[in-house]
Amino acid sequence: MADMRILYSADLHGNPAFYRKLIALATRKKAGAVIVGGDLLPKTGEYKNLISEQRQFILNELRPSLVSFRRKNPRTDVLLMMGNDDFQVNLHLLEDMEEEGLLKLLHMRVHHLTEGLFIAGYSCVRPTPFSCKDWERYDDEQRILQPGPYKPVISTANGLIDINEQEWYASHPTMEEDLEQLAQMSDPKRTVYVLHDPPYDTNLDLLFNGQHIGSAAVRRFIEQHQPPAVLSGHIHESPKVSGKVMDRIGDTVCVNPGQTEAILQAVMIEIPGYRLKLL
């Protein structure tokens, strides 16, 4: 397996300063790949305007940044995927950028990473108390809901539409089913997985109140298939609560760098060995 440095972060939520810093870090540290594991786009402002705001961020901020980065770093792959706060209706804009060679999309896809190693991703998370359900699925057969104060919606070409949560989840595969499909598309022993929802009951899925809130399906996927590494995000505060950005499940290195509103959280992962350096 060839030596490689991966620069990984997640949950940038459309912060232009974070993207600039991540790109500068990738250039300075000579990263072989830059990976953003979900929640790419802004989520501030009035909810009804967020589809348009996220679209404008992709076109006016993200695309020019990646055009500039690719010119300076033509051999460094940029791999990313949407997360549960990103409206799926704008995904076609990222697909257009993929066709231009500016990035590679990860959700339910497998890409070559380096000699003898692949990378694949999955955007979905278990049900949250928040509004957008585009990237939410039942975890497994237990079908646990987290009721919240916000009206459940999905994004469409006609804007946000109200949905019945139970009907929405019942009409889609569970996370467990999707992950098994992803395992069949890849060789788990030779694949790094970028899974937005972290594995349940680890250093990586803790809320400020100490509750573990990660995915049981992700944990079982790791226990069964033992990939070399799983990179997650979603639970911003977990590393602050646990004091750790890494955990292990068997032989699998699991990472959640966390995120803050003021300081970019990112890690450099050295392959082989999966040594971590918090940046």
pLDDT at position 278 is 66
pLDDT at position 149 is 75
Assign 263 a pLDDT band (cuts: 50, 70, 90): very high
Classify residue 57: in a domain, yes or no: yes
Q: How confident is the model over 2-29, as pLDDT tens digits?
A: 688 999 999 999 999 999 999 999 999 8
Which token pair is 61?
């901020």
Length of the chain: 279
What whole-number distance in Å separates Cα of residue 134 and Cα of residue 168? 9
Q: How confident is the model over 120-174, as pLDDT tens digits?
A: 999 999 999 999 999 999 998 777 777 777 899 999 999 999 999 999 999 999 9
pLDDT at position 74 is 92
Classify residue 110: in a domain, yes or no: yes
Q: Are 87 and 50 in contact (CB under 8 A)?
A: yes
- The mean of the pLDDT values for the chain is 94
Classify residue 244: in a domain, yes or no: yes
**Residue 2: CB atoms within 10 Å:** 11
pLDDT at position 155 is 96
pLDDT at position 1 is 66
| CA-closest candidate to residue 33, choices 99, 96, 103, 93 | 103
What whole-number distance in Å separates Cα of residue 217 and Cα of residue 166? 19
Classify residue 141: in a domain, yes or no: no
pLDDT above 90 covers a percentage of the chain that reads 86
Which token pair is 74?
């033509």
Distances (CA, A) of 167 to 131, 133, 143, 208: 15, 12, 12, 31
pTM, two decimals, is: 0.95
Amino acid present at 134? D
Summarize the confidence of residues 218-235 as an average pLDDT. 97
Classify residue 164: in a domain, yes or no: no
Query: How crowded is the C-beta side of 22, counted as CA atoms within 13 Å?
Result: 31
pLDDT at position 236 is 96
Summarize the confidence of residues 112-116 as an average pLDDT. 91
Q: What is the CATH number of the domain that holds 99?
A: 3.60.21.10
**Residue 103 confidence (pLDDT) above 90:** yes
pLDDT above 70 covers a percentage of the chain that reads 97
Report the DSSP pairing between strands 77-81 and 104-105: parallel
Quote the domain boundaries for residue 44. Answer: 4-125+172-278
Classify residue 266: in a domain, yes or no: yes
**Residue 213 confidence (pLDDT) above 90:** yes
Query: Could you give the number of structural domains in the chain?
Result: 1
**Residue 273 confidence (pLDDT) above 70:** yes
Classify residue 9: in a domain, yes or no: yes
Element spanning 52, H or E: helix 50-57
- In the chain, where do the E strands start and end? 4-9, 33-37, 77-81, 104-105, 110-114, 117-122, 153-156, 159-162, 191-195, 229-231, 246-249, 252-255, 267-271, 275-278
Assign 279 a pLDDT band (cuts: 50, 70, 90): low
